[in-house]
Amino acid sequence: MVSEGSIGSNTRRIEALTGRPSLERSLERDAQLAETATLLRTEPDSVVEALERLLERQRSAEKELARLRDSAVAAEAAALVAEARDGTLVARRDGRSADELRALALAARRSGSLRAVVLGGSPDGTKVSIVAATGGQPDAGALVKSVAAVVGGGEAAPRGGRGGRSGTRAARRSAGPGGASPRRRMSAVVQPSRRVR
């Protein structure tokens, strides 16, 4: 049997090979199994077990990579906290996605017990990402909206608490024709000396 599928109410279609094509298909599958076993450095009868071991190693590697990333974020967050003033932190980090900035902002707020953290930067040189993390006050959405207006607009996308009362928010804005580049616009907004009100 090659395939089976529904073609209508209470009607199934079954496709199968018979005769010589069936034998050729069987030989082709045997060859594929042998090639797979060679790639996995095992015998054809042990392909399933070898695949399970490979997948387990991959899962372990992904967990370790996630742990290392978390450690790197925590270390960078601790360094950022040192720049905070009066319980607030405003900083710029280019080359990061909005999700990466969000994780960094949350880690910085937690590690330093800060009232508010606002991070911004350009992930690719054409867009601006802005994130804010607060404990509820000031409003994270309002912070992102006010900063986004300075760098050329953008709509806030809520992450976390309802209505933006807590958690984080992020906004991205493409540089418009004839407008200032994200780098120039961000330099006027996310400077450590600027305070979040």
Domain ranges of the chain: 15-82, 86-187
Assigned fold of 86-187: Diaminopimelate Epimerase; Chain A, domain 1 (3.10.310)
Torsion angle in degrees (nearest 10) through CA of 99, 168, 143, 185: 0
pLDDT given at position 180: 47
Residue 164 pLDDT? 39
Pair 185, 128: CB distance under 8 Å:
yes
pLDDT at 67: 92
- Residue 154 confidence (pLDDT): 54
State the pLDDT at residue 113: 73
The two structure tokens encoding residue 25? 């298909």
**Full pLDDT tens readout for the chain, 197 residues:** 677 778 778 788 887 777 787 888 888 888 999 999 999 999 988 999 999 999 999 999 999 999 998 888 888 888 888 877 777 888 888 888 888 888 888 888 887 677 788 888 887 777 888 888 887 777 778 778 877 777 766 554 444 443 334 455 544 444 444 444 544 444 444 433 334 44
Residue 195 DSSP one-character state: P
Determine the pLDDT at residue 22: 81
Three-class SS state of 114: coil
Token code pair at residue 53: 């071991």
Is the CB of residue 161 less than 8 Å from the CB of residue 139?
no
